[in-house]
Amino acid sequence: MNRKDLILQNHLPTVMAPKYEEITPCEMGKTRMIMGHDGLFIETIQMWGRLIKKLWQSDRELPYGVVEEVDTFRDIVNSLWPIMHEEVIPHAAQYAAKRIEWAGQIIYTPEGLKYLPLNFSATGVKAHYELPGLPEGEQYVVDIHSHHEMPPSFSDTDDQDDRGGVKIRMVLGNYRHIKEANTHFFQWKCRYTVEGFFFDWREYGSEN
């Protein structure tokens, strides 16, 4: 096999789901494709969660086993409120009040999720940063940036940045400061990014 093909297939292999026995578990920190009886799936398992999502629906039954979708990334998103309330929203609001973008990260540690401030440069339309290395046993989980008063959306640049790797991406926007209640309000969008495939979560509002 060509060396380049070997590298690609080792990075993102495709396996056939057995029809009469259990499929071999995916390795920790790896991502793979699975061909099932009704279509093609992508699976990833990270220290902080596991995801299986269908990519393609077959028009006919294929001679492979049943594959069921799994989503424990949802547990991460559902558990973010304390960090959002105490760390993310206050920091993003400071920049949004000046109509400047903001960026931050949430990482997985053996003790749980943790907010990680970033050194970044930002304008009203872009935030630039480089991620520092993490100690063994820690992993980047949620990439967050703010669009201040502009609507929350994923740009073509975001799509290019998310072509590789596995993470949860969140963008804040439509910032409002409600002076009477001293409340900072953002709408936000969230998606899972798995080796260039995007899976929208949902959109909702958050206050602090």
Alpha-carbon gap, residue 117 to 18, rounded angstroms: 45
pLDDT tens for the chain, 208 residues: list them: 788 777 777 788 999 999 999 999 999 999 999 999 999 999 999 999 999 999 999 999 999 999 999 999 999 999 999 999 999 999 999 988 899 989 999 999 999 999 998 888 777 677 777 888 999 999 999 999 998 888 888 988 888 888 889 999 999 999 988 776 678 889 989 999 999 999 998 644 444 4
Reference 167, options 87, 78, 107; nearest CA is 107
Q: Which domains, and CATH codes, for the chain?
A: 3-71 (no CATH), 75-207 (3.40.140.10)
Place of tokens 């920091």: 91
DSSP character for 85? Answer: I
In this prediction the pTM is 0.88
**Helix (H) / strand (E) containing 116:** strand 112-117
Reference 167, options 10, 31, 26; nearest CA is 31
Side chain identity at residue 169, one-letter code: R
Task: Give per-residue burial for 184-199: e unless 16+ CB within 10 Å, then b.
Answer: bbbbbbbbbbbbebeb
Alpha helices (runs of H) in the chain, residue ranges in sequence order: 3-11, 73-78, 81-83, 89-96, 156-161
